[in-house]
Chain A
Amino acid sequence: MEMILVVDHEKCTGCRACEMVCSVKHTGVNNPTRSRINVIKWPMEGFDLPMLCQQCEEAPCIAVCPKDALSQDLVLGRVTLNYDLCIGCKMCVTACPFGGMGIDTVVQRVIKCDLCDGDPTCVRFCDPGALQYVPASTVNLMKKRDAGWKFSELMKKSSLISSNE
């Protein structure tokens, strides 16, 4: 079953635990610049948004890679990076519209989210549930339920008002 990592920014508290565990998991050190996920924060407005590779179907990074180092992994529903083929040209970094491709300046290579091979560490540590790893086929069902819940609350309230009248 194809799984997808989804972000619900309304649940994000901006704590950056995802960055911390991503960095430690992949590099053994805590360095947010080496994390595959980053929380973009507007500290004075209180808005937080985790950003990471969207694992695009028509991925610009795959399209521009001159060495076919990037490819679709249909099993895990991700774009994978084969370091044996990568020449470090960074065209993928330029092409990605989300900043999903980063550069680890310590080991001097391109980095991206690999979904921790199907068990994303960031999701395990996201206590508020802003990051979730769910079946791709039902991802919209989840959103429908959330939106439906808000709608139902509103309807209940309005029917309560009219019955009170």
Chain B
Amino acid sequence: MALNRKIAYIDLTTGEFKTAPIPIEMRELYLGGRGLDMYLLYNHIEPGVDPLGPDNVLTVSAGLLGATLASASTRTHIGAKSPLTGFIGSSNMGGYFAPELRWAGFDHLVIKGKAESPSYLWIHNGEIEIRDASDVWGENVFDTQELIRQELGDPEVKVLCIGIAGENMVRYANVMTGMKDAAGRSGMGAVMGSKNLKAIAVRGTMDLEIRFPEQALEYNQSLIEHISSTKFAKIMQKWGTMFIYGVTNTTGLVRVRNFQLNQQVGGNIECEHIEKYALGTEGCYGCIIHCRHKYQIREGPHAGIYGQGPEYTSQGAFGMEVGCNEFETVLVANHLVNKYGLDTLETGSMIAWAMELYEKGILTDEDTGNLKLEWGNDEVVLEMIKLIAERKGLGDILAEGPLRAAKKIGKDSIKYLIHVKGMSNLHSDERPTPSLALGIATGSRGSDHLRSRPAIDLYHLPQELLRKIYGGPKPYDGPLSSDYTSYEGKPRMVLWQEMMYEAIDSVGVCKFHSIFLSPNLIAFEELSKLIYYNTGLEFTPEEIWDIADRAYTIERLFNIREGLTREHDWLVDRYFDEPTPVGLPIVRNKSIDREKFKQMIDEYYEMHGWDENGVPRPETLEKLGLDAEPSHKL
């Protein structure tokens, strides 16, 4: 059955491991993937451990629906205490790793300790080996995967690995598989690097049983037909997430030159530019959306570069934020961050911040090693990526992430950071959109658009539709404003999306299939059916919400245990003090109102059953069955 996959506890220090079944009652409490990982992290990580020390615990997992008949049932979740924020670290990626992990017999890996020398894990049909990785230590992400496949003699082996950024413990190093699938955020690659763990290779040929094959096939086909009929799917299939640029930049909802402008003028980075370089699109396992392009640069100084993507995130990181106007720069930078194993978003944001410091004279030529960190200096941006990955010169300081770098640079540098909880924000400007601002301020892993962003708020959807989506599955009859500049009813949207994303991350299905960028996709009701047909487990939509609530609350408990207070759920001053300078009239001259924002947070805490300090109330914990955590059941 899809429910008989095991959990493996691996101690890299001693080289010992043990496996155990995952009891159904744990599935009923956390599903799998991110949800169960959160339980494991809360139970296995001692408070206050050094995120880059051997006591940190790394979890790698497949979702409950991994490799089942649900389109894009393929996400791999990776968790640990974050070396970037010191709070919960959590990131997931597409590709083909999680299905293979399930065919190899496992759903969750809990990795502790530190290997004496560079190592990788080789997991195949229930077996686990720790192997020597000294031959691939120092290799880039692409070559590492191929070399390991060659060593193991099987081209079907799936590998997740770190690049040199992870080896050098850049605090926002990612974990990668394939050409572009990245668990990018919160520095999971640095945690692997700190454990001398270069890679995890898997291969499996074990049956994954589908509980009701006929019904699952039929239901999946109806869902696929529905999803592919949406305008969203058609646009994504053609342009990937890069299409978003056209909407947000035209409106003025992006951050340009770190945070100086909210609209890029003269940028040649629209999605249409990909046509010149594209070789077709590629899908993740079982996915009909196939949102990434395969591209190659055919001429010029960067001729020969091959990559996949880029995402909207890279357009922002290496286009808007750093003031670069050339699409090719985005393509090259995307290739480089993937090759070195850096989070594209954090890397671009750190460089943009350094550029603003250079402009303000806080960083001088002496600090930068004579690199002219000027807006739009494409070659310097590409050079900085390399320096960060190699931890050389200024790159070594920027590799420490926002807060630590600001401490090292000193002066007024911290004033120019755009971060929450020590994690940089996406290149989006949330000043005109209180719902999006609330999402980044409260996100459990730091400033983030994938934790709770109600992106469809930007569509000015009619009341009836908002009510239909956000009014359930747990009843809500409070306000829901269609106006994205309003503060009204937005905490509910954020809460709802939080639950939606927690649930979809726990079953291991891609968010692009859920209500995220389109209001017409799947939500709790459809998840309930997918889970039933594929695994036989019966949950009502309300019960799935409760599970998500439990997992999200345990993330909160983890953060509180690591010292999180209400002050951490807050934005940097620039959101309140500097109004947006440009954009369409609806977004121009907008800033966040401190008092209203404070009220929103109060409202949001109240909806969660948390007190005014953001701490879950005893009755909330009791209701969610968390009053005895950590319970050490797994």
Contact = CB atoms under 8 A, between A and B. Distances in A.
Interface in A115-162: 121, 124-125, 127-128
Contacts of B306: 45-46
Interface in B249-306: 279-288, 290, 294, 306
Interface stretch (A30-38, A59-67, A75-83, A90-98): A30-38
Given A24-B217, A125-B224, A29 B286 contact: no
Contacts of B217: 21, 24-25, 121
A81 B185 CA distance: 51
B42 interface: no
Contacts of A27: 207
Contact of B103 (A32, A43, A105, A127): A32
Contacts of A20: 67, 69, 285-286
Interface stretch (B208-216, B406-414, B484-492): B208-216
Given A31-B103, A124-B221, A15 B284 contact: yes
Given A15-B284, A44-B142, A30 B210 contact: yes
Interface in A30-57: 30-34, 43-46, 48
A45 B295 CA distance: 10
Contact of B283 (A10, A14, A25, A43): A14
A46 B228 contact: no
Contacts of A43: 96, 145, 178-179
B209 A14 contact: no
Interface string B421-447: 000000000000000000000000000
B209 A46 contact: no
A70 to B, nearest CB: 25
Contact of A17 (B206, B207, B209, B286): B286
A1 interface: no
Contacts of A106: 207
B284 A25 contact: no
A33 B213 contact: no
B146 interface: yes
Nearest to B228: A127
Contacts of A13: 280-283, 287, 290
Chain A CB within 10 Å — which of B67, B69, B205, B213 has the most? B213
Contacts of A29: 207-210, 213
Interface residues of A, number: 30
B284 A30 contact: no
B282 A46 contact: yes
B510 to A, nearest CB: 11
A147 to B, nearest CB: 17
Contacts of B168: none
Contacts of B284: 15
B282 A14 contact: yes
Chain A CB within 10 Å — which of B178, B220, B279, B282 has the most? B282
A128 to B, nearest CB: 7
Nearest to A29: B207
B308 interface: yes
B288 A28 contact: no
Nearest to A46: B294
B548 to A, nearest CB: 25
A16 interface: yes
Contacts of A17: 71, 286-288
Chain B CB within 10 Å — which of A21, A44, A124, A127 has the most? A127
A101 B381 CA distance: 52
A38 to B, nearest CB: 9
A155 B147 CA distance: 45
A124 to B, nearest CB: 6
B68 interface: yes
Interface string B339-375: 0000000000000000000000000000000000000
Contacts of A128: 237, 283, 288, 290
Contacts of A28: 209-210, 213
A24 B145 contact: no
A29 B281 CA distance: 28
Nearest to B100: A32
Nearest to B66: A30
A43 B282 CA distance: 10
Given A20-B69, A44-B145, A121-B217, 7 more contacts: A13-B287, A13-B290, A15-B283, A17-B71, A17-B287, A20-B286, A106-B207
Interface of A: 10, 13-17, 20-21, 24-25, 27-34, 43-46, 48, 105-106, 121, 124-125, 127-128
8 contacts: A13-B287, A16-B286, A20-B285, A28-B209, A31-B207, A32-B103, A44-B145, A46-B179
